[in-house]
Structure 1
Amino acid sequence: MNPTIPKSPGRDEAITEAALHRLDRLAKPAGSLGLLEGLAARLCTIQGTLEPKTSPRRVVIFAADHGVVAEGVSAWPSSVTEIMIRAISRGGAASTVLAESCRAELVLVDVGSCSDPMAPHPGYEVRRVGPGTRNLAEGPAMSPDEFHEALAIGADQARRARDAGMRVVAAGEMGIGNTTSGSCLACLLADVPIDKAVGRGAGADDTTLERKRRVVESATARARRRLDDDPAGAIAEVAGFEIAAMAGFFAESRRLGLTIVLDGMIATAGALIAEVLEPGTADSMIAAHLSQEPAHAKMLAKLGLEPLLSNWRLRLGEGTGALLAIPLLDAAAAMISRMDTLEDLGILPPEPAE
């Protein structure tokens, strides 16, 4: 019996069935590689082939600042965004170390930080929509035009990945304060209740957490009033430039036939936006892990996704969870593409039990 394989509506279900059949004929007891078999079938379904490819691969990290930090919702000042942009670019951040370890290209795109840009160099781009979003506690974080500009920047990165021959992509983010935006989007787009939507982010204490909860509740209520009539405008009320860019990246990646490895809570907020604007985007996604942020499980459930790494207690962002999961994709693709079948070895499978 094979593990449950998420169906991808609109895809060729014959590929899924063929993948399941091949998995059962490989030189092993049926289902004995557990969830790795489910991952292999998912890859085959997304790519429409029984010989899925998991390289070349690229992670694009979108960076931006958030005006809501002025409300005291983060344990860290906005200046840390600039510090981490430089660390990622220099190669000393977790994302760059993990990308190197799994042979993934890394591109850093500043879509809206407040810092002075660095000198241009390979793997780093400045495509700023603005110097950080406005304070979402006081009004819309961005205008609809700014939201669509950020979407377009993300979509352009997906096209560049396709043109460079990438088969698997992931998106990460860097932006102090972005768990506040992510929590608002969890409430708005995944109906996560406020007590489950707001977590400690990068280490908020109890006082900071309570301030954050009040901001999220008020801003989400304001955005919800326009959600039915103007979904893009409602999302723009509470999103971040990097989250909108990830949404554009995901939607365009799906249209281009790329396999998407989904990172943590903030990336999943971007995925929720993409699914609202381009239904079916989640069909091309593989969820890497379950974040410690309390909203993440319900956000993934809204997308119909189950995480590969469930108990790793990850909460960093930067695409790190996706990078940790990529070697599992390699293993799944190798298994279904290269293993001998029982027939190859002249082994007769056992008869089904009566």
Structure 2
Amino acid sequence: MEEAWYLEEAPAPDEEIITLARARQDNLTKPKGSLGRLEDVAIQLAGNQGTLNPKIERPAIVVFAGDHGVAAEGISAYPQSVTSEMVRNFSAGGAAITVLAKTLNVPFRVFNMGTVDSLEELPNVEDRRVAAGTQNICNSPAMDERQFEECMAAGKEAIDTAGDIDLFIGGEMGIGNSTIAAAMAVAHTKLAAQAMVGRGTGINDQGLAKKAAVVTRALSKHIPHMRAGADYLRRIGGFEVNALAAAYIRAAQRGIAVMVDGYICTAAAMAAVKVNPSIRPWLFFSHCSAEPGHEKLLVKLEAKPLLSLEMRLGEGSGAALALPILQAACALHRDMASFDEAGVSRGG
């Protein structure tokens, strides 16, 4: 049987370039290590791109949208109709991520993976609707094998049709998907649900307790049946979360760096790494959100986020904000003078 495309390994970083890039950072006109994380990301990107002059010049943003059957458990402060309403808002340019995309001059698209409501044709919105939302994971797997493969194919398509890009920023929209992210986080970390659920759209303490109970109940049903990484996505994922994970995998396979957004995107990234561990060096992590489980997921991934702004919006908003930091790190690495070039004396 032919191996699924998402299991094919991504290219490995160039270790020789990484060594040379680290030496260059140590030879620039600054105290060694004084640019902190900016040095780390420039070195990582140099190794990924196989050059001592890394650049991020052609980023693209794709938001995946979808609804979740688990919303029937009353785990969100908003009705599911908000998902499709927000897709219209994305199309009209009125959402946070679309404002950021315009501000940063980054191409933006939406993939509708499965809103409960069918939508009219909208500018910048690709209709890839698998179904009217997933199944309720408290009762059954989120999706069947055919739907799972459709989601993975859509994520691949989002990258393959994005043109000649050098950074992918993924976002998500879906009422109920912070519950899905928490379930995936618990499944991958084995921590208690209470540690991984957050207020999402703004639920109260009673809602928070209900959300934790829903996650625990769902996982007790599915954990015994999870063997491979893809099982996590099919059983407890979401149409938009799975497409996002697939896009991360495909970007890495094509040598495109990925900027991961907040809690839900990090849960998708964790699942993607479980499916295909070779993609991990291609992932950069933008920020640590206000969702309590996010920091724990980042620790599990050994990821150091660039920002901490107490954000919990999603949509790819934190990743978009981190884009100029990555670009600045590249510019500093490329364009700063060495001690010899500048005629500056080194420290002892």
Normalising TM by the smaller chain, what interval? over 0.9
Partner of 2:87: 85
- Structure 1 runs (4+) greater than 4 angstroms displaced: none
Identity of aligned residues (%): 39
SS at structure 2 position matched to 1:63: strand
Q: How does 1:288-303 map to 2 (within 5 A)?
A: 288-303=286-301
Letter of the 1:309 counterpart: L
Partner of 1:124: 125
Letter of the 2:281 counterpart: D
Partner of 1:256: 254
Partner of 2:270: 272
1:328 aligns with 2:329: no
Tell me if the contact between 1:78 and 1:176 (Cα under 8 Å) persists in the aligned partners: yes
* 1:304, distance to aligned residue in structure 2 (A): 2.1
* 1:167, distance to aligned residue in structure 2 (A): 0.5
* 1:174, distance to aligned residue in structure 2 (A): 0.5
SS at structure 2 position matched to 1:88: helix
* 1:145, distance to aligned residue in structure 2 (A): 2.1
Report the Cα distance in structure 2 between the residues aligned to 1:280 and 1:113, rounded to whole angstroms. 32
Classify 1:10/1:165 alpha carbon distance in 2 versus 1 (closer, same or farther; 3 Å).
closer
Partner of 1:349: 346
Report the Cα distance in structure 2 between the residues aligned to 1:90 and 1:173, rounded to whole angstroms. 17
Letter of the 2:320 counterpart: L
1:207 aligns with 2:206: yes
Letter of the 1:326 counterpart: L
Report the Cα distance in structure 1 between the residues aligned to 2:89 and 2:253, rounded to whole angstroms. 32
Partner of 1:115: 117
Q: Deviations over 1:242-294 (max 9, x none)?
A: 00000110001000000100001111111112111111212101100001111
Between 298-307 and 102-111, the greater mean CA deviation after superposition: 298-307
Report the Cα distance in structure 2 between the residues aligned to 1:304 and 1:48, rounded to whole angstroms. 23
Q: How does 1:175-254 map to 2 (within 5 A)?
A: 175-228=174-227, 230-254=228-252
Q: Deviations over 1:196-226 (max 9, x none)?
A: 1111111011121121111100111222101
SS at structure 2 position matched to 1:250: helix
Unaligned runs of 5+ in 1: 1-7
Q: Deviations over 1:111-133 (max 9, x none)?
A: 11122322243x21101111111
Report the Cα distance in structure 2 between the residues aligned to 1:292 and 1:338, rounded to whole angstroms. 35
Q: 1:35 aligns with which of 34, 37, 62?
A: 37
Partner of 2:168: 169
Unaligned runs of 5+ in 2: 1-9
TM-score by length of structure 1 reads: 0.92
Report the Cα distance in structure 1 between the residues aligned to 2:28 and 2:111, rounded to whole angstroms. 43
Letter of the 2:200 counterpart: G
* 1:234, distance to aligned residue in structure 2 (A): 4.0
Partner of 1:4: none
SS at structure 2 position matched to 1:108: strand
SS at structure 1 position matched to 2:152: helix
Q: 2:315 aligns with which of 318, 328, 331?
A: 318
Partner of 1:146: 147
Partner of 2:304: 306
Tell me if the contact between 1:143 and 1:233 (Cα under 8 Å) persists in the aligned partners: no
Report the Cα distance in structure 1 between the residues aligned to 2:17 and 2:76, rounded to whole angstroms. 46
Q: Deviations over 1:164-223 (max 9, x none)?
A: 111011100000000111011001123232121111111011121121111100111222
* 1:335, distance to aligned residue in structure 2 (A): 0.5
Tell me if the contact between 1:144 and 1:233 (Cα under 8 Å) persists in the aligned partners: no
Letter of the 1:144 counterpart: E
* 1:41, distance to aligned residue in structure 2 (A): 1.4
Report the Cα distance in structure 2 between the residues aligned to 1:286 and 1:231, rounded to whole angstroms. 21
SS at structure 1 position matched to 2:277: coil
Tell me if the contact between 2:171 and 2:316 (Cα under 8 Å) persists in the aligned partners: yes
SS at structure 1 position matched to 2:225: coil
Report the Cα distance in structure 2 between the residues aligned to 1:194 and 1:71, rounded to whole angstroms. 16
Tell me if the contact between 2:229 and 2:271 (Cα under 8 Å) persists in the aligned partners: no
Report the Cα distance in structure 1 between the residues aligned to 2:146 and 2:13, rounded to whole angstroms. 33
Classify 1:220/1:60 alpha carbon distance in 2 versus 1 (closer, same or farther; 3 Å).
same
Classify 1:278/1:231 alpha carbon distance in 2 versus 1 (closer, same or farther; 3 Å).
closer
1:337 aligns with 2:344: no
Q: 1:14 aligns with which of 13, 16, 23?
A: 16
Tell me if the contact between 1:188 and 1:223 (Cα under 8 Å) persists in the aligned partners: no
Report the Cα distance in structure 1 between the residues aligned to 2:293 and 2:333, rounded to whole angstroms. 34
